[in-house]
C-alpha cells in the first residue's frame, strides 16, 4: 500500500469517526436552542404580565411569540438539516469504506464517495487531518 492510499484511508477513517460526533453536537445545539427559546418566551411573558398595561401586554406578547417562532423555525431548518446531512454523509462513506475494505471498489471510487459525502455537508466546515 503506497503512502497516498494510506493517507486517504486515514482521512476516511477520521471522517467516519468525526461525522457522527458532529451530527450529535448539531442535534444537541438544535434541542438546546429550541428549549432556550421556549423558556425565554415563558419568562418574558411572565415579565410582561407583571409590569405593563393590558394593551401593551398583548402587543408585546404577540411580538415575543413571533420572534420565538421565527428563531425556532430558523434553528429547526438549518441546524437540524446540517445534523441530518452529517448522518447521511457518514452512512454513504461508511458503506463505501466497507466495499473498499472488501476489495469490491478501488481507491479511486472511494475518493468519489468521499467527495460526494463532503458535498452532502454543504457549507459546513470539515477539518481534515493535518499533514
Which whole number is the average pLDDT over 124-128?
Answer: 44
* Range from 11-20, 24-33, 44-53 carrying the lowest mean pLDDT: 44-53
In three-state secondary structure terms, 125 is coil
* Range from 26-30, 47-51, 82-86 carrying the lowest mean pLDDT: 47-51
- Specify the pTM: 0.62
Per-residue pLDDT, 53 = 73
Please report, for the chain, the start and end positions of each structural domain, with discontinuous segments joined by +.
Answer: 15-120
- CA 96 to each of CA 42, 67, 74, 85: distance values in angstroms, whole numbers, following the listed order: 47, 43, 33, 17
Q: Distance (Å, rounded) from C-alpha 50 to C-alpha 72?
A: 25
Give the position of cell 417562532: 69
Q: What does the DSSP 8-state code read for residue 104?
A: S
* Range from 3-17, 71-85, 87-101 carrying the lowest mean pLDDT: 71-85
Average per-residue pLDDT for the chain: 78
Per-residue pLDDT, 74 = 65
CA 92 to chain centre: 16
pLDDT in tens, 73-91: 666 667 777 778 888 888 9
In three-state secondary structure terms, 2 is coil
Assign 14 a pLDDT band (cuts: 50, 70, 90): confident
Amino acid at each position: 500500500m503506497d503512502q497516498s492510499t494510506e493517507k486517504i484511508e486515514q482521512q476516511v477513517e477520521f471522517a467516519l469517526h468525526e461525522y457522527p460526533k458532529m451530527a450529535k453536537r448539531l442535534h444537541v445545539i438544535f434541542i438546546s436552542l429550541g428549549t432556550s427559546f421556549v423558556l425565554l418566551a415563558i419568562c418574558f411573558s411572565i415579565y410582561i404580565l407583571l409590569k405593563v398595561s393590558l394593551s401593551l401586554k398583548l402587543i408585546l406578547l404577540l411580538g415575543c411569540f413571533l420572534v420565538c417562532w421565527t428563531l425556532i423555525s430558523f434553528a429547526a431548518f438549518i441546524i437540524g438539516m446540517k445534523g441530518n446531512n452529517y448522518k447521511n454523509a457518514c452512512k454513504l462513506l461508511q458503506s463505501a469504506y466497507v466495499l473498499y475494505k472488501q476489495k469490491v471498489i478501488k481507491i479511486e471510487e472511494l475518493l468519489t464517495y468521499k467527495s460526494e459525502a463532503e458535498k452532502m455537508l454543504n457549507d459546513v466546515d470539515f477539518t481534515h487531518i493535518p499533514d
